[in-house]
Structure 1
Amino acid sequence: MPPECRAIFEEWSPPLFLTMAVILFAVVYTHGWFAIRKTRPTLFSTWRLTAFLLGLAIIWLAIASPLDGFADASLSAHMVEHLLLMSFVPPLLLLGYPVVPLLRGLPHAVTAHILAPFIRSKFLRRLGGLLVMPIVAWLVMNLIFLGWHIPTAYDFALEHERWHDFEHICFLGSSILFWWPIIRPWPSHTHRTGWSMLLYLVTADIVNTALSAFLAFCDRPVYSYYYKLSNPFHISPMSDQMAGAVMMWVMGSLVFLVAIIFITLNLLQSQKRFTA
């Protein structure tokens, strides 16, 4: 193992707050899942529990494991970190239908006396409905995605740990908003997903492809932060940038493609039943 890689592993220690937060969410959701499953066993099958817990595990892998140390020293590792937070975690969490299990898993006093006023707030409900409107969710996710990849912003986040944490929150939160209109986790309004969702996904993939292609074919390293670091994989900044861009291009587009195929098949089956 190269000395740089060994140093990253030796310096790594699991962040206590994030690790405890992931464990707490897992315990609360699992408790609530067992409670709601008693009355809705079909809706809350085992695979939903698995999806949610896997999403939490990937959050920990992305920003609490040694991968985060590699992301500070390698652009390609950083792109993997972003891919996990934006393309894999959000759909997994939302497929777990997390809202009711999380509420049911909390102590009754917390739900009744602390959260209930927020849940009943008409303003917050309207704001939530606005944020998950397809056009709003699409704009929020893609503008945040592009904004944080501007070289000045990208380098600034890497140089300031708290801003780096905020960047991760932005990526995860905006991507949850983006995937919400596609998955519509119960008990949100279950309007049937239409053909417009294909355009929603295709245009998001175009944004991802455009940024990835720019980074892959640019004739110079875009992010100066990595100039002064010794790459743990002993590759040049240009090769590292190209590798990260290709991973973001291929894996990001693959996730969009899977969603497009799934929605198309569902729409065709619904259309077939309607005309039968």
Structure 2
Amino acid sequence: MNIPSGPIWLPTVPPDLAQLLAPNLQPIPVIPLIALLALTAYLAGAIRLWATGRRWSRWRTLCFAAGCVVLGVTMGAGIEGYGYGMFSVFMFQQLTLMMAVPPLLVLGSPGTLLLRATPHSGAGKVVHRIAFWGLRSPTFRILLHPAVMIPLFLFTFYGLFLTGIASTLLATWSGHLGLELLFLGSGILFTVPLISADPLPARQTHLGRLLDVFAEMPLHAFFGVIVMMATAPLVAWFADPPSAWGIDPLQDQLLAGGLAWSYGEAPTVIILLVLLSRWYRDDTRRARQADRRHDLHGDPDLDAYNDYLTRLGQLTDPSQKGPR
């Protein structure tokens, strides 16, 4: 049986739904605390806006709160304890951190809320400037670029599990936590340029975002097929789960592959629907703006083209020629 070094709690009974969802915090619940702090700060900002009579979307607030709750439950319940020894549970956590939580957090537009709710005087002025600089910084621009984002996404599946990197990191509490933070961070970096309404260093076209989604969709699905077809444990760390859990490592690996193949599709479809709806809304808004400009000022290009056709008709129609 593999037992990671460090301050961890491992369950002593076989996993079932009740045990997986039981509120069993780890001795140092880093990510649940991050989720709690993020939710507290977000709600404080939203309440400040509402209290001063300024508008802030309740839908955005609900999305961000749901993301924090899902993050807290995934990393703060019994799931985390079983994730130390079961490939399927750890894969579920990875997919949740990368595919389910980030869209909810990003749809909450926390960057915009920070800029609106932070006072523009005193200490708040410093926070405001730092936040705006961070959102516009060249480093953030590089991190959000597809040339960085997509290879990072590939590494979190193929680079970690098809080499010995994952087994090495999973052997310690800090390595396990580092992987979880990597999953969450890479998921956020992938999601932000796709659906974020916050001020960003640069924005892709709708077509570019759509291509990024279609480039990502087969990545985890194909990885899931590789895992399901494997006839031996791919990750050495998960080859010897605690005997008290009654887990067959190969069956558990098969379930992990099935999750990688299927679980990530639903969040990706949701992102795709958000992209398409925003594309349609933006095109409709631009068309209406163009119609209003035409009604007020006319269309210079169209008017010039009509004048050209009129002159051309006068040259080719003898009845339009004047007397010689």
Task: Work out whether the TM-score is over 0.5.
Answer: yes
Look up the match of 2:246: 234
Of the three residues 179, 194, 197, the one matched with 1:167 is: 179
Question: CA offset at residue 112 of structure 1?
Answer: 3.8
Look up the match of 2:146: 134
More helix by share: 1
119-128 vs 85-94, greater mean Cα deviation: 119-128
How many corresponding residue pairs? 272
19-28 vs 159-168, greater mean Cα deviation: 19-28
Question: CA offset at residue 39 of structure 1?
Answer: 6.1
Of the three residues 200, 210, 233, the one matched with 2:222 is: 210
Q: 1:61-99 CA deviation, whole Å, 9 max, x = no partner? A: 222221011111211111111111000111111111001
Q: Does 1:186 align with 2:208?
A: no
- Structure 2 Cα separation of the partners of residues 238 and 135 of structure 1: 35
Taking structure 2 as the reference length, the TM-score comes to 0.72
Judging changes above 3 Å, is the alpha-carbon distance between structure 1 residues 199 and 160 closer, same or farther for their aligned structure 2 residues? same
Q: Does 1:98 align with 2:119?
A: no
Q: Does 1:62 align with 2:66?
A: no
Look up the match of 1:4: 14
Query: Could you tell me whether the CA contact under 8 Å between 2:227 and 2:257 is conserved in 1?
Result: yes
**Greater radius of gyration (CA):** 2
Look up the match of 1:31: 44
Alignment of 1:37-48 (within 5 A): 37=50, 41=55, 44-48=56-60
Matched residue type, 2:36: I
- Structure 2 Cα separation of the partners of residues 268 and 120 of structure 1: 29
Q: 1:208-234 CA deviation, whole Å, 9 max, x = no partner? A: 122111001112221121222236763
Judging changes above 3 Å, is the alpha-carbon distance between structure 1 residues 30 and 270 closer, same or farther for their aligned structure 2 residues? closer
Question: CA offset at residue 3 of structure 1?
Answer: 3.0
Of the three residues 85, 96, 115, the one matched with 2:97 is: 85
Of the three residues 216, 223, 233, the one matched with 1:221 is: 233
Look up the match of 2:319: none
Query: Could you tell me whether the CA contact under 8 Å between 1:35 and 1:104 is conserved in 2?
Result: no
71-80 vs 15-24, greater mean Cα deviation: 15-24
- Structure 2 Cα separation of the partners of residues 105 and 264 of structure 1: 30
Judging changes above 3 Å, is the alpha-carbon distance between structure 1 residues 262 and 23 closer, same or farther for their aligned structure 2 residues? closer
- Structure 2 Cα separation of the partners of residues 20 and 122 of structure 1: 23
- Structure 2 Cα separation of the partners of residues 123 and 54 of structure 1: 23
Matched residue type, 2:13: P
Taking structure 1 as the reference length, the TM-score comes to 0.83
- Structure 2 Cα separation of the partners of residues 232 and 85 of structure 1: 28
- Structure 2 Cα separation of the partners of residues 196 and 123 of structure 1: 20
Of the three residues 129, 143, 146, the one matched with 2:158 is: 146
- Structure 1 Cα separation of the partners of residues 135 and 61 of structure 2: 31
Of the two structures, which has the highest relative contact order with CA contacts closer than 8 Å and spacing of 6 or more?
A: 1
Judging changes above 3 Å, is the alpha-carbon distance between structure 1 residues 192 and 150 closer, same or farther for their aligned structure 2 residues? closer
Look up the match of 1:125: 137
Aligned residue for 2:206, secondary structure, equals: coil
Query: Could you tell me whether the CA contact under 8 Å between 2:224 and 2:257 is conserved in 1?
Result: yes
Aligned residues: percent identity? 20
Q: Please report the RMSD computed on the Cα atoms of aligned residues, expressed in angstroms.
A: 3.4
Matched residue type, 2:41: V
